[in-house]
Amino acid sequence: MNKNYQISLLFNANKAYDRQVMEGIGEYLQASQSRWNIFIQEDFTTDIEQFHNWRGDGVIADFDNPSIVQLLSQATIPVVGIGGSYAKQEDYPPVPYVATDNVKLIEMAFEHLKHKGLEKFAFYGIPDDSWERWAIERESAFVNVMEREGYDYSVFRGSETNSKTWQFDMNRLSDWLQQLPTPIGIIAVTDARARHLLQMCEDLNLLVPDKVAVIGIDNEEVTRYLTRVSLSSVGQGTKSMGYAAAKLLDKMLNGTRWSPAQLPRILIPPTQVYARQSSDYEGVDDPYVVHAMHFIRQNACKGIKVEQVLDHVGVSRTNLEARFKLQRGHSIHQEIHQAKLERASYLLENSELPISDIADVCGYPSIQYLYSVFKKAYNKTPKEYRVGGD
């Protein structure tokens, strides 16, 4: 009779990264029909003390956490680690290991910003005294890319923010942002750090993405809703990591062993760049058009007219229309129309708001008008667009 294996997952599922890894493990179990009984804390966190009392057959664990690495250093049962990749082979733990490819994450973010036409770059990371070694690896990968490509760059690590030091930490971030040359593309080590950038840019009136284009890493669903400007991000192959780790553990449970020199090191590449407004830099060099575009993006859905754009920028209609035609190839009115349409498209794809509500929040007079606009622009109704995307 086949044995039911007792498997422990040592992750903190209050993090999107860990949850997605666990989803990948679940997908492997569903596909393989492996006879595993999964043990995880009821609150989906890792309680190291409780693990000492657990007796089981195998473990898949978050090896970005040094406490877990230490906990499992003397394990006598099969262990598979999941974590970040390392530039030096000797930094990998002595277990079969599945890693997110930190170099590829940074290169994908950089290529995205570079292809937008940006020529100045910066990196917002995490303090080097942190135990989060993956962050230091990403910073190192950024520096290597910059030096290989011959670009000047700036790196700012900031502090481990908390409620007591928040204002001081944001003031330091503000000081750094204000001394950067613009336009510039900034890669944040995580989406959470990218959110700091977007908030400070708004406070400082640094136009995003026209002066500062921002891209994060994680494609964290919650984070991208917490800023007025939608955040571009590089998606990690977290489900693939979980699937690969479960497959490795299954082999070990069925007798496969590797010598220390042959331990599997599986690097999972990022999935894609999820391009959104924060990195939608278009290389417009006319300051009047830049300020008009920023005003339009912030206010198009409030029902603004061309006259309000003119009042904000402070030039005549003939002057600004000519500048828009030269820089954008269309009128100010078309820019407003396009901004509303893009916002409605984004909400259809990324929210569960009723279409009638989307029409309202995007400044359309009725749902029928929204249907008419979408049919003309995409040859699809909003409902068809939501189901099939663009």
Span 73-86, pLDDT tens digits: 888 899 999 999 99
Q: How far is CA 271 from CA 105, 144, 268, 368, in A?
A: 9, 22, 9, 37
Mean pLDDT is highest, among 39-53, 119-133, 253-267, for: 253-267
pLDDT tens for each residue of 141-179: 999 999 999 999 999 998 888 888 899 999 999 999 999
Number of Cβ atoms within 10 Å of the Cβ of 270: 22
Average pLDDT, the chain: 90
Residue 248 has pLDDT above 60, yes or no: yes
Q: SS3 of 64, please?
A: coil
Tokens of 286: 């006319």
pLDDT at 52: 63
Residue 390 has pLDDT above 50, yes or no: no
Residue 339 has pLDDT above 80, yes or no: yes
Position with higher pLDDT, 223 vs 55:
55
pLDDT at 53: 66
Mean pLDDT is highest, among 43-52, 151-160, 278-287, for: 151-160
Residue 16 has pLDDT above 80, yes or no: no
Torsion sign across C-alpha atoms 350, 21, 219, 379: negative
Q: In this structure, what DSSP letter does residue 55 have?
A: -
Report the number of secondary-structure helices (H) and strands (E) in the chain: 15, 12
pLDDT at 48: 58
Name the class of domain 5-100+237-270. alpha beta
Over the Cα atoms of the chain, what is R_g? 24
Residue 330 has pLDDT above 60, yes or no: yes
Q: What is the mean pLDDT of residues 375-382?
A: 92
Q: Cα–Cα–Cα angle for 172, 173, 174, nearest 5°?
A: 90
Q: In what order do the strands lie in the sheet with 36-39?
A: 36-39, 5-10, 58-62, 79-84, 97-100, 265-268
pLDDT at 172: 95
Under the banding of pLDDT at 50, 70 and 90, the label for residue 44 is very low
Mean pLDDT is highest, among 23-32, 285-294, 343-352, for: 23-32
Pick the range with the lowest mean pLDDT from 8-17, 116-125, 138-147: 8-17
Give the integer Cα–Cα distance in Å for 190 and 172: 18
DSSP run (H or E) holding 40: none
pLDDT at 350: 80
Domain segments of the chain as ranges: 5-100+237-270, 102-235+274-279, 287-388
Percent of the residues in the chain that have a pLDDT greater than 70, as a whole number:
93
Tell which CATH classification among 3.40.50.2020, 3.40.605.10, 1.10.3080.10, 1.10.10.60 matches the domain 287-388: 1.10.10.60
Tokens of 285: 């060099």
Percent of the residues in the chain that have a pLDDT greater than 90, as a whole number:
70
Q: Strand 232-235 vs strand 272-274: parallel, antiparallel, or unpaired?
A: antiparallel
Topology agreement, domain 5-100+237-270 and domain 287-388: no
Which CATH fold would you assign to the domain 102-235+274-279?
Answer: Rossmann fold (3.40.50)
Q: In this structure, what DSSP letter does residue 278 have?
A: G
pTM, two decimals, is: 0.83
Strands (E), the chain: 5-10, 36-39, 58-62, 79-84, 97-100, 121-124, 153-156, 184-188, 212-217, 232-235, 265-268, 272-274
The distance in angstroms from the start CA to the end CA of the chain is 51
Q: What is the mean pLDDT of residues 177-188?
A: 97
